[in-house]
Structure 1
Amino acid sequence: MNKFMWGCVALVGLFVVAESLKCNTCSVGMASFCFIGSTAECSTSEPNCFTAQAVFNATNILNLKRKGCMATTLCNTTSTGSILTADYTVSQTCCSTDLCNGAVAIQLPLTVALGAALVAIWSTFT
């Protein structure tokens, strides 16, 4: 009976490991472009997929995005901050099914991404 119980525990553990949530990841994104993206398998400490968006309040033009896995305590939160007198708001939303945080957007080379970011920032000051 004891061997049977340990066998059941091992089988349940196997299903728990096999059922890890898969999420889209994007380290740096703007609009519908993701500059560094892929998919990831979430850990037990970060069991949710998330999408975060940072919006600069003065212009609402430059929106930065991230995707990945996140701890439940950080889900569905909004925070504010500022960089060099530019205020921004970061909203984080979570979901809990495979790849529920949207498709990995079009990926561009980093040089194109930096150029687009600089043009967007420059156009807000001219």
Structure 2
Amino acid sequence: MKKLAIVLLVTIASFCLAASAFAGSVAPGGMTKCNNAGSITIATAGGGDAEDRGNANGYIWKSSNFTTVQFTLGPNDHQGFSGNGGGAAGNSQVKMPSKHSMGHNSITFKGQNNFSRGDSIGDISGEVRIHNTGTVPVTVSCG
């Protein structure tokens, strides 16, 4: 009986560790958590529609300093810039390459320590909650 209890305890502990290592997909309006992660990667999981242009919006809450950090991921977003970086004159007239770039598909928060103050964006120790406030699902990986 004691052996069975030990095996069950080890199985439950392994499951808890595996569940905290990868948080998974977060639907619009949903939330997930990472505990003591070295890094947290948030990426868009869906294509979105014409209205939201595929943008994923949300915020993370950090228990280490009780602060929030907002994020917006817009892989299809081009800010209405034209294809040429030279404006009305065009790239060839100003002899300059295009400076246009699309939005990002993902963002990675990396843990940083040894700050003199605890309000740094890099302080992701402890529990971090990721909230999806947009209309596009996001995937979250806790590393």
TM-score, scaled to structure 2: 0.26
The higher relative CO (CA closer than 8 Å, separation ≥ 6) is in 2
Pick the structure with greater CA Rg.
2
Determine which structure has the larger strand proportion and give its number: 1
